[in-house]
């Protein structure tokens, strides 16, 4: 049931505008999720369309589940029939159903994660004789990614005919796409690029999805790429029932292909009749924190002129420290002091930083003091051996022709099938694949032990596990893989068993959200899960994670990019120094500095009651201790809003020795972020 009295005037205006295009500019803490869910509930309440006709696109998977949860509270179980997905999940759904027209086998489409994609790209570079020393994989990969974000096909990539660089990259790009097609796979960028291609080339397909999705909503619109916007534009162009919610002041993902011009220009040019509703009432932060954050972005050509009925609150604390070590100790001890004084619990606190390197020192100090914390996004989670192993098993069950996955698990756990044995198994095949393993009973050239081990492995992955996948829910199948492969017993003997088992538990927890809600059968459930994992692992390398799970423990420790959409009672922003924040690389261009400014705004508006801004006069960068001046962001804050605080010996704990060990003991690495 809709509680109209709970909405303010502007929220209600947005909720009541159902038909036609609508742009909602939603400031930080202004209740945009509530507004968006109420608007969808109102569409259903008015009987304009069935739940199947509603498409809600969110920035993260958890946001999609949260939207469904809130809608269930408002409209009941019919909310489960709404399509609430991320852009890349939507792309996978479209391609899984329709990609046959593009030459793929849609029912077994694979999405390659960053590692598998790099493997194919490296092969394409070799085959096209592109020198890997002059143009490295790390250089060419992002170029092709950005090309896909802008809908450039290999044939479109060369802008200047005869240009050696562009034509060389285009050759690699073209061969890379051929290899993906041969493997019936797409990468992260293809999920959107090929979906746009699909609806552009097939009028009947476009008409089908326009008939299906009559009302479309897009959350975090400022973070969409050019390709994502074009996909939405095609889907809604006939009925024009599109609601986009976002804020240009919170656009912080250009490095991942997000294009701020979608919200600033393209939407308004394409939908000139669209009204704009601006949500300006902030429900999150104190008046002082709000004024501080707005002062930082006052010179931007677009701003959020937010208001609040919250108390003025205490001054924003600016704390200069001598070194980065002093800074980490100050933050840790101040959190302990707040908790001991019963002002808040440690779970109410967050420490945010611009770069991952800053987090390592903070982890060392927190561990030494015994202060519990959750590291939001273990940035290497999907590179962990045990995680990659089990995902490879799942990939082979989903697609028995996945040669990369087969190669990985053939001897994990150990079966006596080392590199020499695998070479013999391949025979004349270029790599270990399905064909190499299907004719084992006719092979007379293999040692008996190798033959027996290989046949046992083939029975396991081509017979035993696929049958289990059809009979069990995804979480139960995950458990069956660990048991039937002997992987659990094998990993328990590992010297780092405790940590590896914890990582597998985290991976299993991701499967539980796929236990219910998908009616297309076990294969589709498994395929969707693997596609989501692939897109998540592709993104997380770029420093994103979507939020902290309910079971998080201790202080939240994260890069600023990782806490978009979250809020905390107390926030510490560390490293406010020129060259650190704003980052030296971003300072080279006006566009880079503009995004750094927006990033500072996002960081500050995570705070509800207390905001600490700290900086170090000298900091270790690489192997050197370098001096830094205070960040320009500090200079933009009016003096009456801040209180400068000097750190004492007690708050620094200066006698603590540096800890050189790898952070691990208290870190709770949460990779479930976007799932």
- Quick check: 47 and 268 in contact, CB under 8 A? no
Nearest to 316 by CA among 603, 116, 580: 603
Mark residue 537 as left, alpha or beta (left: phi above 0; alpha: psi -120 to 50; beta: remaining). alpha
Which residues are designated catalytic? 32-33, 219-220, 250, 606
Backbone angles phi, psi at 126, to 5 degrees: -65, -45
Six-digit token pair at 188? 């992260």
Report the candidate in 458, 482, 459 with the shortest Cα–Cα distance to residue 472.
482
Measured distance CA(144)–CA(189) in Å, rounded: 9
Q: Say how far apart CA 161 and CA 408 lie, in whole Å.
A: 42
Give the span between the Cα atoms of 257 and 147, in whole angstroms: 10
CA distances to 135, 383, 488, 592 from 389, in Å: 31, 10, 11, 38
CB 112 within 8 A of CB 185: yes
Contact call for residues 580 and 355 (beta carbons, < 8 A): yes
Give the side-chain half-sphere CA count within 13 A for 87.
29
Q: CB-based contacts of 168: which residues, under 8 Å, 6+ apart?
A: 128, 130, 135
Q: With b meaning 16 or more CB within 10 Å and e meaning fewer, what string describes 56-87?
A: bbbbbbbbbebbbebbeebbeeebeebbbbbb
Strands of 87-126 (E only): list them: 110-111
Pairing of strands 568-573, 349-353: parallel
């Amino acid at each position: 049931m809709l509680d109209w009295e709970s909405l303010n005037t502007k929220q209600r205006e947005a909720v009541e505008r159902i038909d036609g295009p609508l742009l909602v500019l939603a400031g930080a803490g202004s209740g945009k999720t509530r507004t968006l869910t109420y608007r969808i509930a109102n569409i259903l309440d008015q009987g304009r369309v069935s739940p199947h006709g509603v498409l809600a696109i969110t920035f993260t998977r958890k946001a999609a589940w949260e939207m469904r949860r809130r809608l269930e509270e408002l409209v009941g179980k019919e909310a489960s029939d709404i399509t609430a997905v991320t852009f890349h999940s939507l792309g996978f759904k479209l391609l899984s159903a329709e990609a046959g027209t593009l030459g793929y086998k849609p029912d077994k489409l694979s999405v390659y994660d960053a590692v598998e994609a790099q493997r194919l790209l490296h092969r394409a570079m070799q085959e096209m004789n592109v020198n890997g020393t002059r143009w490295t994989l790390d250089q060419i990969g992002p170029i092709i990614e950005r090309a896909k974000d802008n809908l450039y096909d290999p044939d479109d990539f060369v802008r200047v005919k005869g240009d050696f660089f562009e034509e060389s990259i285009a050759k690699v790009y073209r061969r890379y796409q051929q290899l993906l097609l041969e493997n019936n796979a797409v990468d992260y960028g293809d999920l959107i690029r090929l979906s746009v291609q699909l609806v552009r080339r097939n009028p009947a397909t476009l008409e089908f999805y326009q008939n299906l999705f009559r009302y479309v909503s897009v959350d975090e619109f400022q973070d969409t790429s050019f390709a994502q916007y074009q996909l939405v534009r095609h889907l809604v162009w006939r009925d024009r029932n599109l609601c986009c919610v976002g804020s240009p002041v919170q656009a912080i993902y250009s490095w991942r292909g997000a294009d701020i011009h979608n919200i600033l220009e393209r939407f308004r040019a394409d939908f000139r009749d669209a009204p704009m509703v601006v949500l300006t009432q902030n429900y999150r932060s104190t008046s002082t924190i709000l004024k501080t954050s707005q002062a930082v972005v006052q010179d931007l050509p677009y701003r959020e002129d937010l208001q609040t009925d919250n108390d003025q609150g205490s001054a924003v604390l600016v704390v200069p420290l001598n070194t980065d070590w002093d800074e980490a100790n100050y933050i840790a001890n101040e959190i302990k002091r707040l908790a001991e004084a019963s002002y808040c619990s440690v779970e109410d606190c967050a420490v945010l930083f611009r770069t991952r390197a800053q987090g390592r020192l903070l982890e060392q100090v927190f561990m030494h003091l015994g202060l519990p914390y959750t590291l939001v996004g273990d940035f290497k989670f999907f590179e962990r051996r045990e995680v990659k192993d089990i995902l490879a098993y799942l990939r082979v069950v989903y697609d028995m022709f996945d040669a990369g996955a087969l190669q990985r698990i053939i001897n994990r756990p150990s079966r006596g099938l080392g590199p020499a044995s695998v070479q013999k198994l391949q025979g004349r095949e270029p790599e270990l694949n399905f064909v190499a393993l299907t004719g084992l009973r006719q092979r007379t050239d293999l040692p008996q032990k190798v033959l027996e081990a290989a046949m046992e492995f083939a029975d396991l992955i081509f017979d035993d596990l696929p049958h289990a996948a059809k009979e069990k829910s995804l979480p139960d199948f995950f458990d069956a893989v660990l048991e039937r492969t002997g992987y659990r017993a094998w990993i328990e003997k590992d010297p780092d068993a405790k940590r590896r088992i914890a990582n597998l538990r985290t991976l299993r927890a991701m499967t539980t959200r796929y236990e219910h809600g998908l009616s297309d059968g076990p294969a589709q459930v498994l395929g969707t899960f693997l596609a989501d994992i692939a897109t998540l692992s592709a993104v997380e390398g770029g420093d994103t994670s979507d939020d902290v799970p309910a079971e998080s423990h201790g202080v939240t420790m994260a890069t600023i990019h990782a806490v978009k959409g979250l809020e905390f009672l107390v926030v510490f922003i560390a490293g406010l120094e020129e060259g650190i924040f704003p980052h030296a690389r971003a300072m080279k261009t006006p566009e880079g500095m503009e995004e750094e400014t927006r990033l500072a705004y996002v960081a500050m508006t995570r705070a509800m009651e207390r905001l600490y801004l700290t900086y170090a006069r000298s900091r270790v960068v690489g192997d050197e201790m370098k001096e830094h001046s205070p960040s320009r962001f500090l200079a933009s804050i009016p003096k009456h809003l801040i209180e400068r605080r000097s750190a004492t010996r007690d708050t620094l704990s200066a006698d603590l020795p540096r800890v050189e060990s790898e952070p691990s003991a208290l870190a709770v690495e949460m990779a479930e972020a976007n799932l």
